[in-house]
Structure 1
Amino acid sequence: MSGYPAPAPLTERFAAQSVIEELLAVQALVPPRSLLRRMFGASPLSDASWPWYRGALGEIAVGRILAGLGPEWLVLHAVPVGSGWADIDHVLVGPAGVFTLNTKNHAGQSIWVAGQTLMVSGKKLRHLYNSAHEAARASKLLSTAVGAAVDVTAVVVIVEPARLTIKEKPRQVIVLSDRQLLGFLHRREAALDAEQVQRVAAAAVNARTWHTKPALPGNPDELNTNFAALRRLVDQARRRRVAWVLGVPAVGFLVLATAGPLGAAILHALINR
């Protein structure tokens, strides 16, 4: 509408942008650590912000991998979709077709897939259902924008799993580890010609294709700066915990164990972060 600023093109969004926005909002409610907690390496992250932080790391890792695709590919990150806060982690448009990627950071865990079931360390999760729904939604929105049917392939990307076992391939979703992703995309047969890629890509970069009320241009530099600062604090805390464990574990843990409730809290943080 005339007089209103246009939403930012989706090419300006970076990997994990939506997750980082939520992480920083949650983290803003966390009280600063005391000097003693900083000294012993207690994580600056709360129990509520930790899953968002882990998710951001996963999407950033996959974003780096996708940077290895050639110039014939359009790669979008953190695409807002619908009318609320939901987003698609990554959308790809290229000669091999259109893909929605749902990134899951299950580093060090065992993943087991059979048909419509995906389990992480023995726990059944809804990754397959959510990813299939995401691709179907993207297909509908892109088809409407292009004026022709656009098929979309759903992919779940597991970041650094300890083991990925596919007993039976799901019917609607492809499950890959991050290490398998580029090879999978490069091996796919051509599905779209150059003109089709251009038409779909033109629709995909338009925020109005995906969201009923696209967000106005934000400040990605500020988000990246604040996330980088938080990441430095998390890494610094981890190094201090390692130094305590490797350096003076007996004395350090004895001091903490006799320090009352605060010591117990710090011990919990040392073990679990």
Structure 2
Amino acid sequence: MTDLRGAKSATAAAATLRAHPAAASAIASCLNAQAESRPRSTFGKAFGVSPLSEASRGPYVAALGALHVADELAKLGPDWEILHGVPAGERGGVIDHLAIGPAGVFALDVLHQQADTVTVRGDLLAINGVPRPHLALARDLATDAAVNLTRVTGLNVPVRGLIVYVAPQSVSVRDEPDDVGVTSDRTLCKWLATREHVLDAATVAAIADAAAEPSTWRGAAPHRTPGFDGTAFDALRVEVQRAWLARGFWGTALIAAAAIAAVQLFGA
């Protein structure tokens, strides 16, 4: 489980974006929505009623997806620097994860598409056959990041958008756009690790240092998301898991009871 309470790096100064925890905005939205919901009854807890409200379910799933992708990115090793929740620029977008490493700079947009079919044919991206604007949104985030990093470092810093779908049924890519990649959480690390190396270690460090500075992003303040509480979210995850186990127990008990009743009825 991702440690939500600490910074990404123990040596990072709290005043930089290195202190941003992953999924902070989604976690805050989830907890804020939960605060407005009615607590479960004792009966509800015993029978596995979900603690999530209708309003908190979406950001809860989004937070889990972002945390899972953050854990996957950590497997890339020390050659890569990963920043979370980067405010991309003028349009107000936020990059879920900014990955900076030997293969370049990537602005990751994490989307939860459980059991969905994703197809990419050039500039057409569809979910279950329905066109979606994900490529354009990812492109905007990457463009904003490139403009800011180029301005601050004095280097030409291309940034490629990267859409990461969490738990899809499949991702089929043909004629992938040059400026936006598309992959799943299962293949993310391989996708990044097998890219051609275009940056040396010194350049990676210089870009990462610039990206970590709030001033790079038009004066964005260090992460202070109202409502963010990593400990509270961890506790909520435990509640959700216990509710899932309780529903499984009662479901199994009902099936067993029905089977016993059938044997007694037809065996009489």
Aligned to 1:151: 158
C-alpha contact 1:82 1:212 (8 A) present in aligned 2: no
Shift of 1:171: 4.3
- Structure 1 runs not aligned, ≥5 long: 1-5, 253-273
For 2:144, which of 123, 130, 137 is the aligned residue? Answer: 137
TM-score of the pair, normalised by structure 1: 0.82
C-alpha contact 2:20 2:222 (8 A) present in aligned 1: no
Aligned to 1:33: 40
TM-score of the pair, normalised by structure 2: 0.83
CA distance in structure 2 between the partners assigned to 1:125 and 1:28 by the alignment: 32
SS at match of 1:48: helix
CA distance in structure 2 between the partners assigned to 1:128 and 1:146 by the alignment: 27
Shift of 1:166: 1.9
SS at match of 2:33: helix
Considering only aligned residues, what root-mean-square deviation do their CA atoms show, in Å?
2.5
Q: CA distance change for structure 1 residues 40 and 127 in 2, over 3 Å: closer, same or farther? A: same
Shift of 1:167: 3.9
| Corresponding residue pairs, total | 246
Aligned to 1:99: 106
Shift of 1:236: 1.1
Instruction: Report the identity percentage.
Output: 37
SS at match of 2:15: coil
C-alpha contact 1:102 1:157 (8 A) present in aligned 2: yes
Shift of 1:218: 7.2
Amino acid at match of 1:239: L
For 1:247, which of 244, 248, 253 is the aligned residue? Answer: 253
CA distance in structure 2 between the partners assigned to 1:104 and 1:117 by the alignment: 17
C-alpha contact 2:89 2:145 (8 A) present in aligned 1: no
Shift of 1:24: 1.1
- Which piece of structure 1 moves more, 107-116 or 138-147? 107-116
- Structure 2 runs not aligned, ≥5 long: 1-12, 259-268
Q: CA distance change for structure 1 residues 75 and 216 in 2, over 3 Å: closer, same or farther? A: closer
State how 1:187-202 maps to structure 2 within 5 Å.
Answer: 187-202=194-209
CA distance in structure 2 between the partners assigned to 1:153 and 1:213 by the alignment: 22
C-alpha contact 2:89 2:148 (8 A) present in aligned 1: no
CA distance in structure 1 between the partners assigned to 2:212 and 2:234 by the alignment: 27
Aligned to 1:75: 82
Shift of 1:251: 7.9
SS at match of 1:89: strand
Q: CA distance change for structure 1 residues 243 and 203 in 2, over 3 Å: closer, same or farther? A: same
Aligned to 2:231: 225
Aligned to 1:57: 64
C-alpha contact 1:7 1:207 (8 A) present in aligned 2: no
SS at match of 1:240: helix
